[in-house]
Chain A
Amino acid sequence: MTVAPVVVTGLGAVCGLGVGVETVWQGALAGRAAVAPLRLFPTATHRTTLAAAVPDDAVLAAGRGWSRAERFACTAAAEAVRDLPAAVRQGARTGVFFGSSTGALFEAERFLAAILHGHEGRLRPLAAQQNDGPGSAVARHLGVRGPVATWSTACTSANVALGAALDALRAGEVDVAIAGGADELCETTYAGFNSLRAVDPQPTRPFRRTRAGLSLGEGAGVLLLETAAHARARGARVLCELAGAGRSCDAHHVSAPDPEGRGAAAAIRTALAEAGLEPAAVTFVNAHGTGTPHNDDSEAKALHAVFGARAAAIPVTSSKSLIGHLLGAAGGIEAVFTALSIVHRLVPPLAGSEPADPELGLDVVLGAPRPLPLANVGLSTNLAFGGNNAVVLLRSWQP
């Protein structure tokens, strides 16, 4: 089967490392962890007091009463579409495909705290509370008229949205897709992951022997996707290709991954098959790598199942080591990192100097950015509550 190639022509990023792709990328190459004491709400009674909050609200595209997630989403989307003509952006053949798991829960919590005690709360921020809040805000902010939808599959949301955008582009429904995800830190997810004892009291240490959980983060990652023909016709600069996507479900447990990583392996195999690629083509992995003992173990098994002996020789990184876990936005920001790795032929290292857990049998990128060969295929994986697995494959663009 030949399918029309889909290319990445713009990127936008907001996360704990800063606002804007260049700032974020320089932070990533330096292996700088944005995980720090959190001041957004009280954390003193929790297992951890850390998170990777977005540092500077002032530079974000703002609207009166906008939620943090809306501002993250619209700022990243505006950066991604910077070079897209307004006439294309506002036509019916451009869509928004977004992922979010918390909507504007931080602002909604203020309202809920009031209404639960019989008080009136401020209604305005609550209007953005629903999970489609950030994606719909992007569509309104940019004047989009094509398909707009939000996938909410917990920590795979944005990867699922990227796959849906790929489907719509290949099916000819749209020429252009603004795709990614946004989520904001809030007390509910912070308390929830603490209650599960899934957070590390220290900054998260993915793929390390002493790993003890995740660090939460927030932000948005957005990719501008086009059919290659559309990008060529408008003379757009192509960064890389979105070659494939794969989804599966463990059907095992609501919150724990399949210990053998079978579902994750199935999703990776599906993405490879849909991209027409062999496992041997993959040159690096931006792993889900949450830093929880179970996740990293299960994910390593999935990589070994798909790549066999070569799994030990593929550079593996986890963006969450630097920017924390962005939950429904994770797939968006991690796809941005994966695209930048292909453009610059560098895989950012994990933060910290502790060696990788030898039991995982992976080539974890530590200390300094890892140079990549001329042509690359990057795999970005996400696993989620509900047993949900979603991965995307990006590769060097070869017209």
Chain B
Amino acid sequence: MTPRDVVVTGVGCLGPWGLGLPALAAALRQGRALASPIDRSAGYHRPDAATQVAACGPLDLSPWLSPQAARRMSDLSQYAVAAARMALADAGLAAVPADRTAVALATAFGPGGFTEQLARQILDKGGKAASPFLFTDCVANAAAGQIAIDLGARGPNTTICQREAGPLLALQQGAFDVASGRADVCLAGAVDEMKPLSHAILDRFRALVRPDGQGELPRPFDRRRRGVLAGEGATVLVLESEASARARGARVLARVGPTARGFDPTAGRASFGHDAGGLAALLRTRLGRLLPEVGAVVSTAAGARQGDALEAAVLRRTFAALPPVLVPKAVHGEYGGGTLATALLALAGSDFARPAGCTEPDPDLGVVPASGRVQAARVLCSALAAGGAAAWSILEIP
């Protein structure tokens, strides 16, 4: 069997920018970090902890999700189901072929809010107090399962948890399931929710930018970077075989190109490693032929001290001349899959402001975030994860 070409025919996204791709484009055009105060009333945070989060805020999901259905779901599942429904509408698919529709989702932390409630029941009141409803919707794959139930999608259903590398690994899994003929349609993407407890824990690991007298901003590739802005949201793409998309006259947003996956064993459990040479060699081996034609990079950089340094070193070793490098996490924060949606904007052509936190590029890194009009026929998406995992995908105009 020859693998089938896989294309993106729809996108649904929601996050701190609001609902949909145009809202994300507008936020990236402005470049302001979409930060708001995190609720510290539960007392999880240390006095000097991060105060900001890139939160979704109140979103009207009723066009995609009935209030009755929403009541039975965690925020995470609600985001995922709404993004999936939005993506199908964007793709012009009124219904999906039940046995031939797959789901491939990534989540770094799963349903943090439900998990916290369940932990409180068990650890405060004893195991007998555990709610079966919370328990069953606390599994990492609950959101992917809820998409399947909502759509009647009975194809392969996968959830990947690999921290910041998850969104690209899920895209790759979904594309493989379509390319191999296991599914004709796949809803692929990423979802996360950022509740005070998860936020406080990330802060304990010094992953987040803390109050620094300079705006507490995420500053990818910047001299002053001190940590990431924790975020949340969902991005779901509709993947189809190119042949069937063309046959139904679907608008094609992108073709899913070749991919690479690797690992940096010099990483610690909660930190980034330093083997840029190894990662760059792997990237060149897998994607080298295509790299000269890459017109833009959607970078994993989010403002992490070592994470950004590793990303910069990998990019500099990979490209003789760097294409424009976009850093959307400076705007929408880490987690929630907004980078996948940003890649589609770069392919379609969109304006990007220099993010507010990125005004003093770190000369040691040698990467300056792009600004202005970016329109590329081929985009490289990168994802480096704390703990060591790495993934790259090419998205291109067919």
**What is A's interface to B at a CB cutoff of 8 Å?**
1, 42-43, 45-46, 90, 92, 95-96, 100-101, 109, 112-113, 115-116, 118, 123, 126-128, 130-133, 136-137, 139-140, 142-154, 160, 164, 167, 171, 173, 187-188, 190-196, 247-255, 263, 266, 270, 384-388
Given contacts A92-B282, A195-B132, list 11 more A-B pairs with CB under 8 A.
A95-B261, A130-B387, A137-B269, A139-B388, A140-B388, A149-B162, A192-B132, A193-B135, A248-B154, A248-B157, A385-B142
Bitwise, B169-201 to A at CB < 8 A (1) or not (0) is 100010010001010000000000000010011
**Does B389 lie within 8 Å of A136, measured CB to CB?**
yes
Residues of B within 8 A of A249 (CB): 103, 145, 148, 153-157
**Does B261 lie within 8 Å of A148, measured CB to CB?**
yes
Complex Cα distance A113/B125, Å? Answer: 11
Residues of B within 8 A of A142 (CB): 265
Complex Cα distance A171/B388, Å? Answer: 23
21 A-B interface contacts by CB (under 8 A): A43-B127, A109-B119, A130-B108, A137-B269, A139-B388, A145-B265, A145-B278, A148-B263, A149-B389, A153-B140, A153-B157, A160-B158, A167-B176, A167-B180, A191-B127, A191-B130, A192-B130, A249-B153, A270-B182, A385-B142, A386-B157
Nearest residue, chain A, Cβ from B103: A249
Given contacts A123-B205, A386-B141, contact A195 B270 (CB under 8 A): no
Residues of A within 8 A of B158 (CB): 151, 153, 160, 164, 247
**Does A191 lie within 8 Å of B128, measured CB to CB?**
yes
**What is B's interface to A at a CB cutoff of 8 Å?**
1, 43-44, 98-99, 103, 108-110, 118-124, 126-132, 135-142, 144-146, 148-149, 151-163, 165, 169, 173, 176, 180, 182, 197, 200-201, 204-205, 261-265, 267-270, 278, 281-282, 285, 385, 387-389
**Does A143 lie within 8 Å of B108, measured CB to CB?**
no
Given contacts A152-B140, A153-B157, A167-B180, contact A147 B263 (CB under 8 A): yes
**Does B103 lie within 8 Å of A116, measured CB to CB?**
no
Given contacts A46-B128, A92-B281, A115-B44, contact A188 B119 (CB under 8 A): yes
User: Chain A nearest CB: distance from B269 CB in Å?
Assistant: 4
Residues of A within 8 A of B135 (CB): 188, 191-193, 195-196
Residues of A within 8 A of B265 (CB): 90, 139-140, 142-145
User: Chain A nearest CB: distance from B266 CB in Å?
Assistant: 8
Residues of A within 8 A of B131 (CB): 195
Complex Cα distance A148/B279, Å? Answer: 13
Residues of A within 8 A of B144 (CB): 153, 386
Residues of B within 8 A of A266 (CB): 99, 154
Residues of A within 8 A of B264 (CB): 145
Residues of B within 8 A of A195 (CB): 127-128, 130-132, 135
Residues of B within 8 A of A250 (CB): 148, 154
**Does B128 lie within 8 Å of A130, measured CB to CB?**
no
Complex Cα distance A154/B140, Å? Answer: 7
Residues of B within 8 A of A42 (CB): 127
Nearest residue, chain A, Cβ from B170: A149
Residues of A within 8 A of B263 (CB): 95-96, 139, 144-148
Interface residue from B44, B110, B120, B136 paired with A255 (Cβ < 8 Å): B136
Given contacts A96-B263, A150-B160, contact A194 B127 (CB under 8 A): yes
**Does A147 lie within 8 Å of B145, measured CB to CB?**
no
**Does B119 lie within 8 Å of A385, measured CB to CB?**
no
**Does A146 lie within 8 Å of B262, measured CB to CB?**
yes
Interface residue from B124, B140, B149, B165 paired with A253 (Cβ < 8 Å): B149
Residues of A within 8 A of B130 (CB): 188, 191-192, 194-195
User: Chain A nearest CB: distance from B155 CB in Å?
Assistant: 7
**Does B127 lie within 8 Å of A46, measured CB to CB?**
yes
Complex Cα distance A133/B278, Å? Answer: 22
**Does B261 lie within 8 Å of A251, measured CB to CB?**
no
Complex Cα distance A136/B385, Å? Answer: 11
**Does B118 lie within 8 Å of A188, measured CB to CB?**
yes
Complex Cα distance A150/B146, Å? Answer: 20
Residues of B within 8 A of A109 (CB): 119, 122-123
User: Chain A nearest CB: distance from B337 CB in Å?
Assistant: 16
Complex Cα distance A140/B268, Å? Answer: 8
Closest 7 pairs between A and B when the two form their complex, measured CB to CB: A386-B145, A191-B127, A147-B261, A192-B135, A249-B157, A131-B161, A152-B140
**Does B197 lie within 8 Å of A196, measured CB to CB?**
no
**Does B149 lie within 8 Å of A101, measured CB to CB?**
no
Interface residue from B122, B138, B159, B201 paired with A187 (Cβ < 8 Å): B122
Residues of A within 8 A of B126 (CB): 45
Nearest residue, chain B, Cβ from A70: B269
Residues of A within 8 A of B176 (CB): 167, 171
User: Chain A nearest CB: distance from B75 CB in Å?
Assistant: 16
**Does A45 lie within 8 Å of B162, measured CB to CB?**
no
Interface residue from A146, A151, A187 paired with B261 (Cβ < 8 Å): A146
**Does B278 lie within 8 Å of A130, measured CB to CB?**
no
**Does B119 lie within 8 Å of A116, measured CB to CB?**
yes
Complex Cα distance A152/B131, Å? Answer: 21
Residues of A within 8 A of B124 (CB): 116
User: Chain B nearest CB: distance from A117 CB in Å?
Assistant: 8
Complex Cα distance A324/B120, Å? Answer: 27
**Does B270 lie within 8 Å of A127, measured CB to CB?**
yes
**Does B159 lie within 8 Å of A126, measured CB to CB?**
no
**Does B156 lie within 8 Å of A248, measured CB to CB?**
yes
**Does B141 lie within 8 Å of A153, measured CB to CB?**
yes
Complex Cα distance A130/B335, Å? Answer: 14
User: Chain B nearest CB: distance from A187 CB in Å?
Assistant: 6
